[in-house]
Chain A
């Protein structure tokens, strides 16, 4: 890649949900990273790790508790109404569930036109023409534009969702598990479509998923989240080949192998104990309760995300000691 230009800067972002006067769910806790233009950053983690909340807070769909999100220099969370409208044209979201994310009472044409309307006023014929263009761009037959979402399969619906998002002509798209509800062969179709569109339209993605292998394929850089914290972040190749954080190692070791001669049981790193809760989390490292290598220091002191190799960040006390 030539000159790297920061498109989205996330600075010390926190999003807490207040459950009661005493309990606070720290869904996203002091997360910072940059997303460069025309780059795909993947975020992986188990359910409940705050990755979805992160995506939505970055887009300003949830107000942030503290920290900033700078989109092309503009602070998303303190933007005025007009700035926000402008921002919504440039940053969009793709949702996970192809069944719930399309209004069942609207035709495909109307669904996609909803995205178009944000770009200004179009005549009916213009709208129709643009809808057809978008449908063929995502690989669907334009003839089906007057049908209803329930008549399409999961993969086709996800394509309709992509067309709606693209109608806005955004620069930045947060993809919130867009493939996890789809079949394997369809997942590959959609991932390839994302790749093609990125090339063709110069898009930037924040790609959230729990499927580690798909994320590796699509992302330039990958971040691993654990209970609201960023545990590790690196170039995807580096992360998968040279994971530093014990959690990343455990995650990678649990992926079932498609090679029957190399079963995962041999290389598996087993995690002990129970998953902690993001509600009033412990003071030390959040992974300490499950980490096979946890020390007293891990239980007391929160490790900070620091650079362990060029472009490779890891939040682990053990790593620090190995480094010195």
Chain B
């Protein structure tokens, strides 16, 4: 990496904690024609160096908006970030950075993003090599020739077959999986500290999906990058995540390490998510578990628990008060009234039995 001293690097040396990203009280509003949507509601979390945080949730739960807010790529004009919100990258609030600095120093260099659909983010009129080289030239003082060489080694790193040929090809000549690899090569060109992957495999076939996930994990181990992976697929979360964060209706409703979420989850929504995925290994002949209803419309966010109308363990308090995030363990917390010491056991309430 080229060594240009910025405040990020100095902050790192002073602050020796291993938290690289600290999101505090993030609120994102979208002003649409139908009204003001509170898309992300008071979300706080931290990301440690070298770890993979998976954000799981259904469409419209605010997971993508959270990722875009970190990247400062929220839809222009219509989006608005709450006043109390802070996104601290190595101790610096990126929400207060001037736009130009975000452009040159933050995006691509320290934080990179890969998207669900690589086609829309690759320029169809430039070859793959030129595009990777361009992102290198933007952030370092390399010469064009050096950049092209670097691009080739990046393509080798992401294991594209026949990289010498691919570097001169245009995006449309590549398959979906290969395009995603090119995106990853571009995102990792400047060895960013954080890689945000927004549903990187949703548009791909299962076998390609498995390849891409393996690649991300491998590169992460090699480069020590922290990864925020946004997905709706619990299977992916189980495969790659260190920590998992479940979002619903713009809020984090449960967060914990992988084993805590998969083995000791406390929020009924997390249970429901796990139950509604049929497993290809186990044989289940009976009906699939399914949640009733649909998530709330965040044009009028519910005052009490957002999940209450769909929850089979719903209690009186759930309709009255907003749940409070409480810690089960140091790394595991959730926002559900079932955690209250006076609350009955879920088995006593549920109509559908236990997990």
Chains A and B share a contact (CB less than 8 Å): yes
Mark A residues whose CB is within 8 Å of B: 46-47, 153-156, 183-189, 191-192, 195, 210, 212-214, 216-217, 237, 240-241, 250-252, 254-260, 262-265, 268, 270-271, 273-275
**Distance between Cα atoms of A251 and B209 in the complex (Å):** 11
Closest chain B residue to A151 by CB distance? B34
Closest chain A residue to B56 by CB distance? A184
Question: Would you list 7 pairs from A and B whose C-beta atoms are within 8 A, ordered by A residue?
Answer: A184-B232, A185-B291, A187-B276, A212-B280, A213-B277, A255-B280, A273-B161
The tally of residues in B whose CB lies under 8 Å from a CB in A reads 44
Closest chain A residue to B210 by CB distance? A254
- Mark contacts of B270-290 with chain A using CB atoms, 8 A cut-off: 1 yes-contact digit, 0 otherwise: 001110111111011001111
From B64-72, B234-242, B347-355, give the one contacting chain A: B234-242
| Cβ of B214 under 8 Å from chain A | yes
**Distance between Cα atoms of A250 and B280 in the complex (Å):** 13
Q: Which of B233, B290, B295 has the most CB of A within 10 A?
A: B290
A256 touches B236 (CB 8 A): yes
**Distance between Cα atoms of A256 and B206 in the complex (Å):** 8
A213 touches B58 (CB 8 A): no
List B residues 285-302 near A (Cβ within 8 Å): 287-292, 294-295
**Distance between Cα atoms of A275 and B206 in the complex (Å):** 13
Beyond contacts A185-B291, A258-B235, A263-B238: 15 other A-B pairs, Cβ-Cβ < 8 A, are A183-B232, A184-B232, A184-B233, A185-B276, A188-B290, A189-B290, A212-B206, A241-B283, A256-B235, A258-B262, A258-B274, A258-B277, A259-B279, A260-B262, A265-B239
Q: Which of B59, B281, B289 has the most CB of A within 10 A?
A: B281
| Cβ of B327 under 8 Å from chain A | no
Closest chain A residue to B276 by CB distance? A188
**Cβ contact of B278, chosen from A46, A214, A264, cutoff 8 A:** A214
**Distance between Cα atoms of A209 and B210 in the complex (Å):** 18
List 4 A-B pairs, minimum CB-CB distance, nearest first: A256-B235, A188-B290, A188-B276, A183-B58
| Cβ of B259 under 8 Å from chain A | yes
| Cβ of B205 under 8 Å from chain A | yes
A184 touches B279 (CB 8 A): no
| Cβ of B213 under 8 Å from chain A | yes
Assuming the contacts A186-B58, A186-B294, A255-B235, asked whether A216 and B280 have C-beta atoms less than 8 A apart, the reply is yes
**Distance between Cα atoms of A237 and B263 in the complex (Å):** 27
- With a cutoff of 8 Å between Cβ atoms, the chain A residues found around residue B291 in the complex are 185, 188-189
- With a cutoff of 8 Å between Cβ atoms, the chain B residues found around residue A185 in the complex are 58, 272-273, 276, 290-291
**Distance between Cα atoms of A187 and B272 in the complex (Å):** 12
A154 touches B59 (CB 8 A): yes
- With a cutoff of 8 Å between Cβ atoms, the chain A residues found around residue B234 in the complex are 184, 258
- With a cutoff of 8 Å between Cβ atoms, the chain A residues found around residue B274 in the complex are 258
Closest chain A residue to B284 by CB distance? A217
- With a cutoff of 8 Å between Cβ atoms, the chain A residues found around residue B207 in the complex are 46, 250-251, 254, 271
Closest chain B residue to A240 by CB distance? B280
Closest chain A residue to B204 by CB distance? A47
| Cβ of B175 under 8 Å from chain A | yes
Measured CB to CB, the closest approach of chain B to A164, in angstroms, equals: 20
Measured CB to CB, the closest approach of chain B to A215, in angstroms, equals: 9
Closest chain B residue to A185 by CB distance? B291
A252 touches B59 (CB 8 A): no
**Distance between Cα atoms of A183 and B202 in the complex (Å):** 12
B58 touches A184 (CB 8 A): yes
| Cβ of B258 under 8 Å from chain A | yes
Q: Which of A46, A184, A189, A254 has the most CB of B within 10 A?
A: A184
Q: Which of B233, B273, B278 has the most CB of A within 10 A?
A: B278
B238 touches A258 (CB 8 A): yes
**Cβ contact of B210, chosen from A156, A187, A256, A274, cutoff 8 A:** A256
**Distance between Cα atoms of A252 and B289 in the complex (Å):** 22
Measured CB to CB, the closest approach of chain B to A257, in angstroms, equals: 6
Closest chain B residue to A189 by CB distance? B290
- With a cutoff of 8 Å between Cβ atoms, the chain B residues found around residue A273 in the complex are 161
Assuming the contacts A185-B276, A191-B288, A213-B280, asked whether A257 and B294 have C-beta atoms less than 8 A apart, the reply is no
Assuming the contacts A154-B59, A185-B58, A195-B287, asked whether A275 and B175 have C-beta atoms less than 8 A apart, the reply is yes
- With a cutoff of 8 Å between Cβ atoms, the chain B residues found around residue A210 in the complex are 205-206
**Distance between Cα atoms of A257 and B238 in the complex (Å):** 7
- With a cutoff of 8 Å between Cβ atoms, the chain A residues found around residue B263 in the complex are 260
**Distance between Cα atoms of A46 and B239 in the complex (Å):** 21
Closest chain A residue to B202 by CB distance? A180
Measured CB to CB, the closest approach of chain B to A101, in angstroms, equals: 17
Measured CB to CB, the closest approach of chain A to B321, in angstroms, equals: 24
A256 touches B233 (CB 8 A): yes
B279 touches A260 (CB 8 A): no
Q: Which of A156, A189, A271 has the most CB of B within 10 A?
A: A189
- With a cutoff of 8 Å between Cβ atoms, the chain B residues found around residue A195 in the complex are 287
Measured CB to CB, the closest approach of chain A to B255, in angstroms, equals: 16
**Distance between Cα atoms of A217 and B209 in the complex (Å):** 21
A217 touches B290 (CB 8 A): no
B206 touches A264 (CB 8 A): no
